Amino acid sequence: MIDVSSTLLPRVVHARAFGDGIDCGDDCAGGGVCAIRMTEDLAVEARFTTNDSHTCQPDTAAVNGPLLQGARLIRFERGRSSRSPCRDAGRMGGGGPPQALSGRRRLRHARRRDTLAGFYPEEAEPLDLLAPPEHGGRLRQAAERFGIPLTDWLDLSTGINPRAWPVPALPASLWSRLPETDDGLERAASDYYGASEPLPLAGSQAAIQLIPKLRPPGRVGVPEVGYAEHAHAWRCAGHEVVPLPDGDAAPWLDVGPERLDCVVVINPNNPTGRRWSPETLLDWHARLAARGGWLVVDEAFMDATPESSVMPHAGRPGLILLRSFGKFFGLAGARVGFLFAEAQIRRRVAHGLGPWTLTGPSRWVAARALEDTAWYAQTAARLARDSERLAALLRDQGLTPSGGTSLFQWVETIHAERIYVGLAARGILIRLFAHPKSLRFGLPGEDGEWQRLAKALASLSEQGESTQVQASAAWSAHADSPAPRP
């Protein structure tokens, strides 16, 4: 593999116009098919064909979206064509057929082939599955990449309430004293969530990283499309991660030696918005717990719909519940979350976190916000209205959401990259997903922000910069026909 990580693109270009190609080095025989993958928060893939002088030229038929100014080429993989294999295919480590690989490698190989089906040559090296996932909210990076000042952006790239709980002035002593655990936070959290013994965390992310380390390596079902930190954490802890199609664990629960030891469910899922009924989850939990397995339910986006939570069953052996404070309360910077689990798991997580996991100011703010029942009621109702308003706005632009929660809407479209780039060029940051090609829109806050989003989408539509798969005629008429994914 050649490291081209220092290659920065000079401007927004389509790959077919991408200059003279890239030198693929002396140890390539030439004439092979290579692939370039740019990830970061933007996933763009392009296939290049090497010529005999080792220069990769963009293969226009396979170009899969525009390449962005300042985007970093982070992966350049060489594969073999039937004509002229790269000489170092063996050294790259991905040269053998799946049956020649060990169990774990076979899984990686299969998974990679699944997500990149038909795009890369079969022999190319698997992607680095231990690389940390990308997240929304990286406004500084977007400002630099698109050359738009930070203050001019409308950031819709996260699922965080844009109208946060109003934080009052904090007592000065919070900054000078060590945090104490009997300050009322646990009681406030217990009342708010309706379950005893909450374990405060510096965001539910802290538990997501720790939980996999509490078990010996096993087989863990994780949503194929969902908050990627779960799969990452289990994989880093040595577990075999089985991607579940939008969280459906049912076919995997009791299947002989292939069965799962643990299942992670994100309910409702981020970004798909898929929901699971408490009855289904309790059934899965019972089947896993019967043989010492765990069901982890991440309820980061559950606040506005508490009736769908499995919280009333918190404390059952093998049932681990995670809640995130920052999203509904709009205070993600405070880094607060909670874990609910049986005493033994709770103690082991607490031990892993150590003392003072939350800062004093964060504890103080979270306790008061969780006690503010009037603000909760008003906010839950407003978010339900705003989420529906966002779905309607997107529908009006031919972008019918496939799912959503009270804090975001999710749109699957083959034109995801174009819409992402078109909005970013107008200073609006949303979240782009490569598999499946989709976009997540967070809620605008002020009226002006709603109008700005509607106007930007309408102007994209007029200019034909975007379309949806089953778009209205207006969108389709302007659309470039997309390069089919090979």
Ligand X SMILES: Cc1ncc(COP(=O)(O)O)c(C=O)c1O
Please tell me whether residue 270 binds ligand X under the rule CB under 6 A: yes
Please tell me whether residue 224 binds ligand X under the rule CB under 6 A: no
- Closest CB to ligand X among 48 and 227? 227
CB of residue 336 vs ligand X: minimum separation in angstroms?
7
CB of residue 245 vs ligand X: minimum separation in angstroms?
17
> Among all residues, whose Cβ is closest to ligand X?
203
- Closest CB to ligand X among 37 and 440? 440
50, 204, 209, 468: which one binds ligand X (CB under 6 A)? 204
Q: Which two tokens stand for residue 238?
A: 């040595």
Please tell me whether residue 324 binds ligand X under the rule CB under 6 A: yes
CA distance 359 to 178: 8
CB of residue 46 vs ligand X: minimum separation in angstroms?
29
Please tell me whether residue 300 binds ligand X under the rule CB under 6 A: yes
- Closest CB to ligand X among 38 and 300? 300
Q: Which of 41, 202, 264 is nearest to 132 (CA)?
A: 41
Q: Report which residue type is found at 211.
A: I
- Closest CB to ligand X among 167 and 425? 167
How many helices (H) and strands (E) in the chain?
14, 20
H or E segment at 25?
none
Q: Of the listed pieces 182-190, 199-207, 363-371, 405-413, which binds ligand X according to CB under 6 A?
A: 199-207
CB of residue 12 vs ligand X: minimum separation in angstroms?
28
Let me know: does 299 contact 309? Beta carbons within 8 Å.
yes
49, 205, 309, 467: which one binds ligand X (CB under 6 A)? 205
**In the block, residue with structure tokens 């934080």:** 167
Please tell me whether residue 326 binds ligand X under the rule CB under 6 A: yes
- Closest CB to ligand X among 79 and 159? 159
CB of residue 71 vs ligand X: minimum separation in angstroms?
23
- Closest CB to ligand X among 272 and 468? 272
- Closest CB to ligand X among 86 and 262? 262
Residues 6+ apart with CB under 8 A from 261: 215, 218, 219, 220, 288, 292, 293, 294
CB of residue 270 vs ligand X: minimum separation in angstroms?
4
Which of the residues 227 through 266 are near ligand X (CB under 6 A)? 227, 266
Q: Of the listed pieces 163-171, 200-208, 412-420, 472-480, which binds ligand X according to CB under 6 A?
A: 200-208
Let me know: does 242 contact 220? Beta carbons within 8 Å.
yes
CA distance 86 to 312: 58
CB of residue 103 vs ligand X: minimum separation in angstroms?
29
Please tell me whether residue 225 binds ligand X under the rule CB under 6 A: no
Residue 260: beta bridge partners? none
CB of residue 166 vs ligand X: minimum separation in angstroms?
20
Burial readout 378-399 (b: 16 or more C-beta within 10 A, e: otherwise): ebeeebeebbeebbebbeebbb
Please tell me whether residue 203 binds ligand X under the rule CB under 6 A: yes
Q: Of the listed pieces 19-27, 84-92, 198-206, 434-442, which binds ligand X according to CB under 6 A?
A: 198-206
Backbone angles phi, psi at 22, to 5 degrees: -125, 135
Please tell me whether residue 154 binds ligand X under the rule CB under 6 A: no
298, 303, 386, 412: which one binds ligand X (CB under 6 A)? 298
CB of residue 461 vs ligand X: minimum separation in angstroms?
29
Residues 6+ apart with CB under 8 A from 308: 267, 268, 275, 277, 278, 302
Q: Which two tokens stand for residue 456?
A: 């930007």
Q: Report which residue type is found at 215.
A: R
Reduced 3-state DSSP string for 205-227: HHHHHHHHHHCCCCEEEEECCCC
* Range 421-424, long-range pairs (CB < 8 A, 24+ positions): 421/12, 421/66, 421/68, 421/465, 422/456, 422/460, 422/463, 422/465, 422/466, 423/456, 423/457, 423/460, 424/142, 424/145, 424/146
121, 200, 330, 337: which one binds ligand X (CB under 6 A)? 337
H or E segment at 295?
strand 294-298
- Closest CB to ligand X among 247 and 326? 326
Please tell me whether residue 267 binds ligand X under the rule CB under 6 A: no
CA distance 246 to 353: 30
311, 314, 332, 439: which one binds ligand X (CB under 6 A)? 332
CB of residue 414 vs ligand X: minimum separation in angstroms?
24
DSSP class per residue in 32-61 = -EEEEEE-TT--EEEEEEE-TTSEEEE-GG
Residues engaged in binding ligand X (CB under 6 A): 203-205, 227, 266, 270, 298, 300, 324, 326, 332, 337
